[in-house]
Every structure is written in C-alpha cells, then in structure tokens.
A and B are shown apart, each in its own frame.
Chain A
Amino acid sequence: MTSAWTIFLLRMIAIALLALIGGALFGLTGGLALACAGLLLVVMSHVANLSRLQAWLKQPEGKSLPDAWGAWGDAFIALHRLRRDEEMQRERIVADFEVFSQAAEAYPDGLVFLDADDRILWCNRAAESQLGLHGEADKGLLIVNLVRLPRFAEFIANARPGESLQCRPLGRKDLDLSLEALRFGKDRKLLISFDVTQIERAATVRRDFVANVSHELRTPLTVIAGFLEHMLSEPDPDPAASRQPLEIMDGQARRMLSLVDDLLVLSRLESEGHALREETMDVRDLVFDVADEARRLSAGRHSITCEVQPGQLKGSREELRSAFSNLVTNAVRYTPEGGRIVLRWALREGKGVFSVEDSGIGIAEEHLPRMTERFYRVDRGRSRETGGTGLGLSIVKHALLRHQANLEIDSELGVGSTFRAYFPAWRVTPKGGAT
C-alpha cells in the first residue's frame, strides 16, 4: 500500500516538475498542457493494467499473470502467489479426497451416502453390485425408489442405530445382505450393506446337519422301540418267534453304531488341532487290503480286480484306508450283481492317482457337485437300504483334504462311475522299498 502511494506521489512530483519546467519555457498554457498530458499518461497506464487484470480474471486457467511495472507489478505478484497457494491447497484436498474415495471404493462392503431426503450422494462398487445401483447415473435419486424391498423404506427412514435389516435383494437367489444405516454429519446417512451369504449358508448347513443326524438316528431307534414295545406287551414271548425281530433290531443297532462311528471319524478329520500322523506305506498293501474288504462285502456278487503300480505313499495309514475303503464300498453298494469294479493306483505327471471304477448305476450330473455334502443322497430310499450312512464321501473328502489330495468324479447314468483321488507328487515315491 505504502509503495503504491509513494509511486503515485513520485509521479505527481515528476508531473509537477515537468509542468513547472514547461511553464517556464512555454508559458502557463504549455505548462498546463504538459501537466494534463502527464496525468493522462498515468491514468492510461492504470486503465491498461486494469484491463489486463480483467482479461486474466475472466480466464485465469493456463495463462500466467501479466507483467507490470511498479505497484501493479507488486499486486500482480501477490495475486499470483495467492493463486498458487490456493491451487496447491486444492490439489492437496483433491488428492486427499481421491485417497478417501479410492479406499471407500475398495471397501468390500457396500457403502451409500445419502442426503437429508435419502437421495444418493455417492456409492461404492460393492453397493452397486449388491443393491443394483448405477453409481454416477443414480446420483440424486431417492434410494427407496431403487431399493424397493418391502421393509426397506421404513428401515432407512428410521435409521435407528444398532438396527439391521436382513434381506435378500429381490430376484437375487445367490445373495443375502445385512443392511445397517448410520446417521452422520448434518442430516446425512450412511447405508452399509454386508454380504452375509456365506454366513447364512453355513448356518443352513449346520441346521440341516443337526436335522439330518437326528433323522438318521431316529429311524433305526423307532424300529427298535417299536419291536421292544411289542415284545414287552406280549405276556409270554415265544423265543423262536422273537428271533426275527431281534435280528432286525440288531441290524438297526449296528446301523446306528456305524453312523455314530462315521460321525466320530468325520469330526476327528475336521478338527484342525489334530495333526496328521505321517508314515510311509506300501500302496500295494493298502489297495489289496481294501479290495479284500470289498470282496467280503460283495460276497462274490461282483468281479473286483486291482491294477496297482508299485509305489509308496506318505500319510496317515488309518485315514487313507478309511477314505479308500469308503470309495470301494460305495462302488460295491451301487453296482448291480455281476458288475465289475477296478481299483487302480498309477502315477500321472508325478501325481499319484488312486481310482475306483465301477459299472454301477451311475450318478446324474446335477448331483455331482453336491456328492460330498454330508447326508446328501441321490435317492434317499435306495442308499439307506444298501446300508450307507450318508457320510462316506464326506469322510473321503476330508481325509483327502488332509493329504492335500483332491477328489474327481466322472459318472454317467446307467454306465458307471469313476472316483479318482489325486495325491501331490511329494507324497508319492514311485518304487516300493521292499516289494
């Protein structure tokens, strides 16, 4: 400010001096004319700078500030500094905002910001896919117009803390959501959607499991209880006549026993704390052993053969035996009389492959993905009458998992099935030591 006044004062003195000299040389008129011309020049230079400033203010982007002399120059420099600071600040804010929105974008749960009228201000990608929103295009739309779940409007209007809405978006069979609404700032709301599909599914599996176990145990118990009641009500039971009921009861009791055994095996396999007992065994012994067991079960109704390459396998003998034997007994159970069952052990690309091929009834394709679920039965009646517990393949799956092996099922209805277990190379040695 002071410098502007000083410059102005200096200029005025210069003009006055000029006018005085002019006055001395050309008289009064000449002096006045010179003074006027000097003042005019000063005013013109101001107007010129002002118009440059105006032009710059209209379109500040890209253009550098005009250079000027004196006070205007100082003002321009100050303005330039101000602008640069502002720009830097803006860049910082933009960068901060970027980081925030990128973080929110990367957030795995759905986030939607809503204004006081529940219009969408912003949402992340998870929210887009979970709630069917269209990000940019849906900005400013009422959320209740797009998320039209019957209870949602009330839920979002209240937005009570700690309240959550469990729902399945209309038309989505594969998605369960838990929604929460939080108030923040001035009349703003944050809607969070959590994908709880897996949790819901796990809960369903658990419920189903308990129901299935109870059902499976109840059936034989009902039979036993029925016979017992009948026998107790007979005043004088005839030992010969009670022979057959006793045999049936014995069979049912055994079934329960094998079910409970299988459950115990399964729970032991599933408990992670229990370490795998690693031992090296001869595959040939193991497979022959399992084949013998199968022959006993088959009692000559099937032709059971083994094609085994010599080799050794590392793992828990007990668990592998139970896995293999479950696969083989399944083959025996589901292959009609006169059928053929082949047990194989071979090396394929370094991996050890144990396979059981049968000429049985086969499995329709739609059942294959669910075969290893506990108590999953393709045909309820049939599998129970053949004496299965419904846990065999679950046991196989878990035992194999503990050996880093995976199970593959090939099957064609009416033609037969092949179950293959692939063991990783490091568990397998091609040649047997002693044999």
Chain B
Amino acid sequence: MPHSEHFSKQYDSDLEDVRSRVLQMGGVVEAQILAAIECFSSGDTERMTEVTDTELRVNAYEVDIDDLCVHIVARRQPAARDLRLIMGVSKAVTDLERMGDEAEKITRMARLIHERKGPQIPLQAEVRRSGDLAVAQLRRALDAMARLDPDEAERIISEDALIDTEFRGILRQLITFMMEDPRTISTALEIIWVAKAIERIGDHAKNIAEQVIYIVRGTDVRHTGKERRRSATDEGA
C-alpha cells in the first residue's frame, strides 16, 4: 500500500486491523444470512435462535469498529487513501449491520410461515436461489474489499440487476397464487417480506462494492449510471 506522509508501523497495523475486523464481521453476517435462508427453507427453530444470537455479535462488531475508526481519525488525521479507507469501511459496517437486521427479519417471517397451518406456497426453491445469489454477491464484495480489487467490485455492481429480476419474478408468482386462492395471502405477504429482505441484502452488497471502488480509485460511483435509471422504475434503495 502506498502511503503518504504517515509512516509508522503502528498506524499501518491500525488501518489493517480495522479492515480485517470489518471483513470478520462480514463473515459473521454472511453465515447469519445463510442460516436465515436455511431457516426459511427448513423451518428449523433451533437455527432461528442462532440467527438472533448472532445479531448481538454483529452489533458488538459495529460499535467496536466505529470506535476504532473515530480513534484513528482523531489521533492520526489520515489523508488520501487512508482517509478513504476509514470512510469506506465505516460505511460498509453500516451496510453489514443492516444486512444482519434483514437476516433476522427473514427468520422472523420464516417462523410465521412455518407455524401457520393452511395452504403452502411452493416457492422455497425460488426464494432460496435468490438468497444464494445475494449471499454470493456479499461474499464477492467482501473478497473485493480484502483484495482491494475495484474491477471485481464493478462486476458485482453490474450483476445486482440479477437479484432484482429474481425478486420481481417471485413477486409475479406470488400474485398468481394470491389470485388463485385468497387463503394464501397472509403467507404470500410474508414471503414478499423475505424476498424483499433478500433483495435489500443484494443492494447492501452492492454498496460495499461501491465503497471498494471509492477506497481504491477515490471516485464515488453511487447513484450513477444504471442506478439512476433503475430507481425511476423501482421504489429505489
């Protein structure tokens, strides 16, 4: 890493430490989302509490990392890329924390869906697929953050549309189910929540990828290009 004027080993290792912790937090969130999707597919209540418990860890990470960031800014007054790293990382932390919330939302809905008797909606596979896609996006975004690879980040951003398409596909199918049999409406609404949460997770993963580009190149790619066009038709992020 090229550094400007600050040239102390301690400082370097502080910066490395912050990034490393964010990536650790990312790993925890990734596992949490996977567990949440698993809960949705299987209705396994034991894993549901696991997801909720992880939430506490994620929150602790967030507080911890924010604290570290404030300390580095206050003590070292970083400039250029180091400053961007701190800024990008602290934004990524917020995204990760939100993803954790979405995961919890998924398990909450999963519990409702699996506890309800009545007609089921056979969309498990579709929801699962879009969930796997979103988690893969997150994993790739974290990899890009670890390798500081803006090219990969760009690919991730361009592939976010895939998850949106999946989401819309699920929505369409749910509508047909609801029209056919109104008894499925409450379950369908809950599945919409789950699908929406997954779609949001994909968006957050995209945000992290954008932060990677910001850290490496110093260009802000948020709300540019595709994003603007999309938000005109969709409800937006």
Interface residues of A (CB under 8 A from B): 132, 134, 137-138, 141-142, 144-146, 148-150, 152-153, 170-171
| B139→A145 contact, CB < 8 A | no
**Residues of chain A lying within 8 A (CB to CB) of residue B86:** none
Given A170-B31, A170-B139, A171-B135, is A148 in contact with B24 using a C-beta cutoff of 8 Å? yes
B147 touches which of A134, A144, A153 (Cβ 8 Å): A134
CB contacts under 8 Å to A, within B66-89, are none
Chain B positions 3-42 with a Cβ under 8 Å from a chain A Cβ: 16, 19-20, 23-24, 26-28, 30-31, 34
Can you list 23 pairs linking A and B with CB atoms under 8 Å apart? A134-B147, A141-B146, A142-B16, A142-B20, A142-B146, A144-B23, A145-B19, A145-B20, A145-B23, A145-B146, A148-B142, A149-B27, A150-B28, A150-B31, A152-B27, A153-B24, A170-B30, A170-B34, A171-B30, A171-B34, A171-B132, A171-B136, A171-B139
Are B27 and A170 in contact, with the CB atoms below 8 A? yes
CB distance from B217 to the nearest CB of A (A): 18
Please name all residues of chain A whose beta carbon is closer than 8 Å to the beta carbon of B135 when the two chains form the complex: 170-171
Q: From A152, which residue of chain B is reached at the shortest CB distance?
A: B27
Q: Does B143 contact A (CB under 8 A)?
A: yes
B residues engaging A (CB < 8 A)?
A: 16, 19-20, 23-24, 26-28, 30-31, 34, 132, 135-136, 139, 142-143, 145-147
Q: Nearest chain A CB to B202's CB is how many angstroms away? A: 14
- Chain B residue numbers with a CB within 8 Å of A148 are 23-24, 26-28, 30, 142
Contacts of B28 in A (CB 8 A): 148, 150
Whole-angstrom CA separation of A142 from B143 in the bound complex: 12
Count chain B CB atoms within 10 A of each CB in A145, A149, A153 and give the residue with the most: A145
Contacts of A144 in B (CB 8 A): 20, 23-24
Q: Knowing that A142-B20, A142-B146 are A-B contacts, what are 15 other residue pairs whose CB atoms are under 8 Å apart, sorted by A's residue number?
A: A134-B147, A141-B146, A142-B16, A144-B20, A145-B23, A145-B146, A148-B24, A148-B26, A148-B28, A149-B27, A152-B27, A170-B27, A170-B34, A171-B30, A171-B139
- The interface residues of chain B lying within 8 Å CB-to-CB of A142 are 16, 20, 146
Instruction: Please give, as numbers and ranges, the residues of chain A lying within 8 Å of B139 by CB-CB distance.
Output: 170-171
Determine the chain A residues whose CB is within 8 A of the CB of B142 once the complex forms. Answer: 148
Tell me the bound Cα distance from A132 to B144 in angstroms: 12
Chain B nearest CB, measured from A344 CB (Å): 38
Q: When A171-B34, A171-B132, A171-B135 are in contact, do A138 and B147 touch as well, CB less than 8 Å? A: yes
Residue of B whose beta carbon sits closest to that of A119: B16
Q: Which residue of A lies closest to B136 (CB)?
A: A171
Q: How far is the CA of A171 from the CA of B140 in the complex (A)?
A: 11
Q: Are B147 and A141 in contact, with the CB atoms below 8 A? A: yes
Q: A134-B147, A141-B146, A170-B139 are known contacts. Are A150 and B27 too (CB-CB below 8 A)?
A: yes
- Cα distance A170–B16 in the bound complex, in angstroms: 23
Q: CB-CB < 8 A to B20: which residues of A?
A: 142, 144-145
Q: Nearest CB to that of A148 among chain B residues?
A: B27
Most chain A beta carbons < 10 A, residue from B31, B136, B142:
B31
Inter-chain contacts of B132 with A (CB < 8 A): 171
Which chain A residues border B23 with CB–CB below 8 Å?
Answer: 144-145, 148
A149 to B16, CA, bound (A): 18
Query: A149 to chain B: which residues have CB within 8 Å?
Result: 27, 31
A364 to chain B, nearest CB (A): 14
The 8 closest A-B pairs by CB, nearest first: A148-B27, A145-B146, A145-B23, A150-B28, A170-B30, A146-B146, A150-B31, A171-B139
Q: Are B24 and A146 in contact (CB under 8 A)?
A: no
- Taken together as a complex, chains A and B put the C-alpha atoms of A418 and B23 apart, in Å, by 53
B147 touches A137 (CB 8 A): yes
Bound: A148/B26 CA distance, A: 7
Q: Give the residues in chain B near A145, CB-CB below 8 Å.
A: 19-20, 23, 145-146
Bound state CA distance, A141 and B143, in angstroms? 11
B222 to chain A, nearest CB (A): 24
Residues of A within 8 A of B145 (CB): 145
Nearest CB on A from B195, distance (A): 19
Please indicate the chain B residues that have their CB under 8 angstroms from the CB of A146 in the complex. 143, 146-147
In the assembled complex, the CB of B57 is this many whole angstroms from the nearest CB of chain A, namely 8
For B57, the closest partner residue in chain A by CB is A150
> Complex: how many Å from CA A149 to CA B27?
6
B139 (CB) vs chain A CBs: closest residue: A171
